[in-house]
Amino acid sequence: MTTCTMFATYTPQLSRGLQHADPGLLGSQKGDDEKPLDTDRMQKLDDALGRYDQNFTHHLRIFANALNYYAATESVALLGLVSNLDWNRDWGMSA
């Protein structure tokens, strides 16, 4: 949950960083010179988003494992939720 909260809090800053890295996203204005894409800033944004993704995936795996344990030991009713969360086993990332 903390990872989601941090991502939601920093989304405006990430958006501003993306606009500064690629001014073409703001739309072309007449008379303005096109600034080139700032590849260093784009790489930093990609790294930051990658860390958010890794943290979210890590915590989702922990949650799915705990939920699977409780479904096996406490209540079979949780198995439906486990199967919906664990449909591809790795959430798009290799282990």
For 3-41, write each residue's pLDDT tens digit.
Answer: 778 778 888 888 888 888 887 777 765 555 667 777 888
92 has pLDDT over 70? no
Sign of CA dihedral 41, 43, 44, 50: positive
Q: Output the pTM of the full model.
A: 0.66
21 in Cβ contact with 37 (< 8 Å): yes
